[in-house]
Structure 1
């Protein structure tokens, strides 16, 4: 009797659980349908069907996307897959996360034998591939690597000379010398020339004295400073005690190697005050700290003296004649950080798009009366959110791959024109891509409804960790102004008989054409063949940029007469930001078109062409008012662009699975249960305890 009662009790307890699992399975999994579906994906809703689905072979498309450094990325993925104790849990304290992040870095370098620092100088493309892979594991680890190797290590090697390389390279490489990049101050970030920290030369002792003159000059948000760093490359104004022939003692901002902790005891060194910046919105695996210097003495040889040096008797020498030129050269050597952020931001967008799109293919909701529920990606509203984003992800991929290639070429050649080119291109792409990704992460979360709010599905973590990408290594608004300023400089030189730089040469070749009166005939062409012609798309992008450039130049000239140059710039600031974004979009589209045309596999090329057309026409439609205002696009053509953009979203939806799979992100990398290729909801329910 007691046994029967126990069985009945167990059965009563089991029934609610069984009902919940049954309901969840019915709600989230496809119910049997008479239609067959060979790839186990949901059939597209009949009312949403467009052209026949493209047959896309994922393997060659993935091979085209992955590049030659996929092997080292797979080594990163495999290492962390075999070391579960190094995988970052969903819930972890700040202090534990910092220690885990350091163990991850040491394991990667000392156990897995992956050496990012050597790659940075021998093959930069491989370095950025490593950065992308580790960022997919934990974005804090990606930033920690960037701080150690690109910022601290990069400043020593790029701004120093042979003596610095010989002394520090191996220690930085093997993590014996963990370090910081101490540029930003409490009162100065983007305005690096306004830094207040001083390095005064003492010829009696042959030393520099590093000082923080006021609280506003405290070095702030310094990665690796709070816990792990033992050195810092400190950016400070170089002050000479005797005036030169021009009566100047401030030689401008230079970088200095400053030990901050004892190598053996890890104790803070005399004269150095270190504080913890505390818990952040994201990236809590990175130990950001604040540094104050009180008469800290370092030997003269600790000046990173590639662009300026001081002799034992206090004489300053440089191959560059002015403070501004030395400053520009210094920042030019540090551009790799922006390249890395742009490239890594695309990898975050790939992750988010993969999770959101796989979920949208799997999740069913509503449908025609008395018929099975349909995939939410069959809804036009969901396609409108996600398909242009997927197309943009591909566009940004090819644009940032191009940026890495240009950066690699620059590091080999040291060509001044190429340095300037990469500086402007990296500023624009970093600003544009990181801003787009930040917005897209929120859209992806929303597109996944309540499940997107679960931390295990990663949107919140990705969004918080990525958010700072918009403001470090240069605030995005400031970087876009740099792009606009460079365009205006080139515009001025063109009309004075000068030449445009490499990236901007389309303006040199076609400025007059783009600024001429729009052709009333072509303004009305609205066939699909015409709208999907790369020449039309690129011409439209460049026409908009050219008009914005000309009009803002006129406005600046007008306002400068009455307001002065600074106030005139501020009066036109929104116009300038729009110009910079328009130009970067033109560069992105040009690189996407080139990638489509260069793709050797026919099915991959067709898939990329669809995505490229959607990227181009979606951007044109979003700014259709600009084109209508100048009669570049007639009403019938505007309507056709809108209609075709929606139609292309349907077509891209048809191959969304293949486009996402071509990113080649293993399940152990995406990790979100709703994005797994199989048994997604079984693992999701298991995670919460069923």
Structure 2
């Protein structure tokens, strides 16, 4: 299938408006406005929309949409986060709206006629959304809802799109009707009218951040903000004319119902982190082929090649893990809605923790492999490194997500086992016995680690299990698609590293022995030292040319950097400067 949206995106990225991610000297406010304008252009080009989500649009088009979102994230994580903030907020509305609300709001969400914000996290509660303090109290006298932040620590925080331009916030709060707390609910809250904040709402900046700067994040407080009753999302919640609350969902299940939208939310940073790794490796490969040191190109040095091969292996594994996951998500979508599929949620969580966790290492390694030039903003890697640091926390802290995913997996262990067996079946039966043996061992390790979670409770074993599942999905998908010698060698190098990462666990459980680990170490060393052609590696990474902006990705990188180098401005003049320093 042709990636039509990716092709449309790369054409758009080649236009002048996208030429410089953040033009030199542009203020943060102007950068934020530029980023929002770009998000609107991408949306209006039909590249992104909530109607393309799995469970809403045609399933066959979902992979192309998700890849486009990933490449947007590689171009600029701020741009991805502006779109994601709107879409996950839009999904909270679409997933919980009554039929009438859906008819009114779905068109404006799809076209970004109004920009939405996702207001769930709070300063005090953090990742523990069961403890949100924001309340909405039903007032029968005028059939309204009074939204309030009881304490400053209950303020909504890190709310993307909210600081300057957000029109609507989807607010997660506790609903109080009479003397009863009815638990978690979603409210649709208009933030601004004609650009001015509505009464009872204050927004302060959650800046400065370490990265993702142009996703204008705010801290929102509500001071007895009065809303019409229709602000309450009504798919499963209703307050009748007598002021009595009704819901077919039992109170203890309402929190889980509210969090269903997070299934998709975690796919976006996962894919963005995967594409960012591929872009960083492509830039590094091109630099390593052009930069000469000690008489030969960097790529000619064995140790350099080994380090680059390790980084590229992680990048391609992230690609294959996400592709494998999307295939299974599409296959399961007909049976139940993705938001209601706990096993799919667990697998997506494993992909999120694996891809974003590896991105931190890959981006750090490629930055170092490019030397001091890798730290220059124009060379793309360092900005991505800063931006994707937050991805391990965005959408839920990776460690906490590992706890949650392993609990879900234990409840549906037999079905998970069948799914993983299916994912690796072709790889195990394939023609490469070395790779097949490694994949088989990784599949066994997934079971060992899940048993450790079962016996010892969530903890370090949950983190190791989620990584092993992610790696196994990647290996199963990659093994059936590594046709070229360079791809097969890179796969074996990565697979051996995965097995060694979990080697002690395998030895302790008796599913591996010393010879298994020695063979894996020898395979990793052998493949790491092998020749690696730049053209072969770039073909495997397959990065659209429109995303490669770094001067170091070109043979004349020195000239390009000199052209970009600014001449110092003698603003004061020599005499004035001497006086100022005296």
TM-score when scaled to structure 1?
0.75
Q: Deviations over 1:98-125 (max 9, x none)?
A: 1111221233344x45453343332433
- Name 1:305's counterpart in structure 2: 234
1:26-54 deviations in Å (ceiling 9; x for gaps): xxxxxxxxxxxxxxxxxxxxxxxxxxxxx
Match of residue 25 from structure 1:
none
Q: Structure 1, unaligned stretches of length 5 or more?
A: 1-66, 243-248, 367-372, 492-498, 511-528, 557-568, 597-603
Which of 620, 628, 644 in structure 1 is aligned with 2:523? Answer: 644
CA contact under 8 A between 2:262 and 2:395: conserved in structure 1? no
User: What does residue range 22-61 of structure 1 map to in structure 2 within 5 Å?
Assistant: none
Larger relative contact order (C-alpha < 8 A, sep ≥ 6)?
1
Tell me the equivalent position of 1:135.
73
CA distance in 2: counterparts of 1:575 and 1:260, whole angstroms: 43
- 2:250 counterpart of 1:364: no
Q: Which residue of 2 aligns with 1:260?
A: 191
What secondary structure is seen at the aligned counterpart in 2 of 1:532?
A: helix
Q: Which of 151-160 and 540-549 deviates more? A: 540-549
- 1:617 maps to what in 2? 496
Q: Which moved more, 1:657-666 or 1:351-360?
A: 657-666
Change in Cα spacing, 1:267 to 1:502, as seen in structure 2 (3 Å) is: farther
Match of 1:88 in 2: 21
Distance 2:40 2:337 in 1: 35
Show the counterpart of 1:685.
Answer: 562
CA offset digits 1:45-88 (Å, max 9, x no partner): xxxxxxxxxxxxxxxxxxxxxx532x322222222322246632
**Conserved? CA contact 1:134–1:142, under 8 Å:** yes
Going from structure 1 to structure 2, the CA distance change for 1:261 and 1:555 (only over 3 Å counts) comes to closer
For 1:411 and 1:261, the matched residues in 2 are separated by: 37
Q: Which residue of 2 aligns with 1:124?
A: 62
Q: Does 1:165 align with 2:102?
A: yes
- 1:526-567 Cα offsets, whole Å, 9 max, x none, are xxx986141x112211222323333443345xxxxxxxxxxx
Larger-Rg structure: 1
- Kindly tell me: are residues 502 and 416 of structure 1, through their superposed partners in 2, closer, same or farther at Cα, counting changes over 3 Å? farther
Provide Cα deviations, 1:114-142, integer angstroms capped at 9, x if missing partner.
45334333243343233123223322111
Q: Equivalent of 1:500, from 394, 415, 423?
A: 415
1:577-592 map, 5 Å: 577-592=463-478
CA separation of 1:626/1:375 partners in 2, compared to 1, >3 Å: closer, same or farther?
farther
What is the aligned counterpart of 2:441 among 525, 540, 548?
540
Identify if the C-alpha distance between structure 1 residues 239 and 585 changes in structure 2 by more than 3 Å, giving closer, same or farther.
Answer: same
Distance in 2, Cα, partners of 1:392 & 1:334: 25
- For the residue of structure 1 that corresponds to 2:80, the secondary structure is helix
Residue of structure 2 in register with 1:522 after alignment = none
Instruction: Give the corresponding residue for 1:488.
Output: 410
Q: Relative to 1, partners in 2 of residues 1:85 and 1:665: Cα closer, same or farther, differing over 3 Å? A: closer
Q: SS state of the match for residue 665, structure 1?
A: coil
Q: Which residue of 2 aligns with 1:233?
A: 170
The answer for the alignment partner of 2:246 in structure 1 is 317
In structure 2, list runs of 5 or more residues that go unmatched.
Answer: 426-430, 568-582
| Counterparts of 1:458 and 1:645, CA distance in 2 | 29
Cα distance between partner residues in 2 of 1:409 and 1:313: 45
Match of 1:144, SS state, is helix
Aligned residue number for residue 390 of structure 1: 312
Which structure 2 residues correspond to residues 336-347 of structure 1 after superposition, within 5 A?
A: 336-347=264-275
Cross-structure match for 2:9: 76
Q: Contact conserved, 1:307 with 1:330, CA < 8 A, in 2?
A: no
For 2:217 and 2:384, how far apart are their aligned partners in 1?
Answer: 19
Distance 1:645 1:656, change over 3 A: farther
Partner of residue 250, structure 1: 181
Aligned equivalents of 1:662, 1:555: Cα separation in 2? 41
| Residue in 1 that maps onto 2:220 | 291
Query: 1:684: Cα distance to partner?
Result: 3.2
Does the 8 Å contact 2:314/2:358 carry over to 1? no
Question: For the Cα contact (< 8 Å) 2:435–2:495, is it kept in 1?
Answer: no
Distance 2:416 2:502 in 1: 27
1:206 to partner: Cα distance: 1.8
Contact map agreement 2:74 2:273 (CA 8 A) in 1:
no
- Kept after mapping to 1: 8 A contact 2:158/2:218: yes
Q: For 1:630 and 1:428, how far apart are their aligned partners in 2?
A: 22
Q: 1:198 aligns with which of 135, 152, 155?
A: 135
How far apart are 1:363 and its partner, in Å?
1.8
- Give the distance between the partners of 1:302 and 1:425, measured in 2 at CA: 33
1:174-213 equivalent positions in 2, closer than 5 A: 174-213=111-150
SS at match of 1:292: strand
Counterpart for residue 97 of structure 1: 31
Counterpart contact for 1:182–1:235, Cα < 8 Å: yes
How many residues in Structure 1 have an aligned counterpart in Structure 2? 556
CA contact (8 A) 1:199 1:238 kept: yes
Kept in 2, the 8 Å contact 1:394–1:611? The answer is no
Structure 1 residue 214 displacement after superposition: 0.8
C-alpha displacement at 1:662, in angstroms? Answer: 4.1
The C-alpha deviation readout for 1:567-613, integer Å capped at 9, x for no partner, is: xx5xxx223322332233223322323444xxxxxxx3544333322
1:461 counterpart SS class: helix
What SS does the corresponding residue of 1:280 show, helix, strand or coil? coil
CA deviations on 1:616-663 (whole Å, 9 max, x unpaired) are 112123343444455655545533322221221234x52443232344
Determine the structure 1 residue equivalent to 2:570.
none
CA distance in 2, matches of 1:292, 1:672: 41
> Shift of residue 336 of structure 1?
0.8
Correspondence for 1:107: 41
RMSD: 2.8
Q: State the SS of the aligned residue for 1:335.
A: helix
- Deviation, 1:190, is 1.3
Find the aligned partners of 1:133 and 1:328 in 2 and give their Cα distance: 31
Alpha-carbon distance in structure 2 between the residues aligned to 1:409 and 1:210: 41
Q: Give 3-state SS (helix, strand or coil) of 1:333's partner.
A: helix
